[in-house]
Amino acid sequence: METTLRGVGVSHGVAIGEVRHMGTAVLEPPAKQIPAEEAEREQGRARQAVEAVAADLMARGHLAGGEAQAVLEAQALMAQDPELIADVERRIAVGSTAERAVYDAFAAYRDLLAGAGEYFAGRVADLDDVRNRIVARLLGVPMPGVPDSDEPYVLVARDLAPADTALLDPTLVLGFVTEEGGPTSHSAILARALGVPAVVALPGAVELAEGTVIAVDGSTGEIFVNPGEDKKAQLEAAAAERRAVLASSTGPGATSDGHKVPLLANIGGPADVPAALEAGAEGVGLFRTEFLFLDDNKNAPSEAKQVATYRQVLEAFPEGRVVVRVLDAGADKPLDFLTPADEPNPALGVRGLRTLLEHPEVLRTQLSALAKAAEGLPVYLEVMAPMVADRTDARAFADACRAAGLQAKFGAMVEIPSAALRARSVLQEVEFLSLGTNDLAQYTFAADRQVGAVSRLQDPWQPALLDLVAIAAEAARAEGKSCGVCGEAASDPLLACVLTGLGVTSLSMGAASLPYVRATLAKFTLAQCERAAAAARAADSADEARAAAQVVLSGE
């Protein structure tokens, strides 16, 4: 019997195939005491397992490259956390086996995270994955993960750890469905980078029986269980039509009446550049630089290393626009040499620009490296600060840019509602704005982007979020300056039209989404986009906003 379920579509495309579940295993080792003379040997086993898992995560990161590399390297640092290792060794010293000590130490840390507010609760899945890998190695059993199969399938899981998502083989994994997660979770972002259709936050996903045929629509979030031949043919025809449109869509981003909307790529490092170029990116709208700083959690990278890396990216876009975000450390990206270890709620503490202003030498070195990397190149370099709250923040960043001799435009990311509400004031100090809709939604609705239970409030179609976008875009227009979007909202083709109608001047997204957005924008005039934006803002919920925009753009 055909039934329809609905989750949150996070990666475009249609996948039809049999369900295969993520492997599971008994993760709790037996509790038994060891003689005191075995403690040193057990401590050595624990340290070796931790180092092996950290090395494996780093290796997976290097294979995956780009954003995935930064995520996996952060997990490797989690595995090597000195306090966790010290707790493991203490437990072994009083009689626990290595595997039980790891299990109990991670459980204690897990409880702290889960009780530290929604922002930290979102890191629990990553912590569990690290624990499982260490315990599995100590027990000598295979790590549960992506199932072995000679035939393509749709992967279903309660959640997917970044280490699994990053190395999915798109020739075998047609798409994936998870019960947890949200539109801006690590897995969702990596799915878009892979170009794999994906639906997250689907209630009861893990109850889908192994071998059941399902159709996944990553655009609408719909799951069709046991689809009939007519439904399969309908979905496949729609997918084929979509592919044909994408193939014919080339050139700069623009509406059908010629209003230019530059389409840029979000990248996490040089490894992401080839995909961006292949997708026709007109430049880079968000160059995340955290990956450089995650290589060594104890020290900042040298200026020379930074110069070489930045220049690789800048050289790839001659006469194009490259927008670099300076280091965004803190909260879910802690660095030992920068971020405090005892903040009660780091998401609301010293993060982003606040961190850099407390460590001006780190900011000065990064800005100097960017200035040197751009020397002699025809690229249009722009540099922006994360987590700008007000004009004081913007002025401090602008002063630092000038002091470093940076010959580039400098701007501010709008991720905090105060920056959107006072955008015109912020623009007295900087030359452009870039809306990070992932964090802007998180702070607007007090809804952690990693927690599936609040994914409704992370939906970028929420009218309150659209209001903030409109306020910032209007302020930029009034000041004769630009206001782009570099959050994941830009990757939704329909929402891209609405953002254009709100006055956004450029859109930046993962490379895989660029063709979809380019093709959709080209169907509509600027006036149609403006009417769709007005209809969306007049709605009272994300679903109503999406439906209202769809009605306007479909001409119904």
| Residues catalogued as catalytic | 186, 486
Three-state DSSP state, 395: helix
Distance (Å, rounded) from C-alpha 16 to C-alpha 132? Answer: 31
Q: Which two tokens stand for residue 497?
A: 């039209």
CB 134 within 8 A of CB 360: no
Beta strands of 70-137 (E only): which ranges? none
Is residue 162 a contact partner of residue 68, using CB atoms and an 8 Å limit?
yes
Q: Between the CA of residue 134 and those of 17, 48, 55, 79, 250, what are the distances in Å?
A: 33, 9, 12, 8, 47
Q: Give me the half-sphere count of Cα atoms (radius 13 Å) on the Cβ side of residue 197.
A: 23
> b or e along 335-371 (b: 16 or more beta carbons within 10 Å of the residue's beta carbon)?
beebbeeebeebbeebbbbbbbbebeebbebbbbbbb
Residue 332 backbone phi and psi in degrees, to 5 = -85, 5
Q: Any alpha helices (H) in 115-185, and if so which ranges?
A: 118-121, 124-139, 162-166
CA distance 542 to 530: 18
Is residue 272 within 8 Å of 508, Cβ to Cβ?
no
> Can you read off the two tokens belonging to residue 222?
């719909």
Token pair for residue 493? 């083709």
CA 46 to chain centroid, in Å, comes to 32
What lies within 8 Å, CB to CB, of 120 at 6+ separation is 113, 114, 346, 347
Cα atoms found within 13 Å of the Cα of residue 98, Cβ hemisphere only: 20
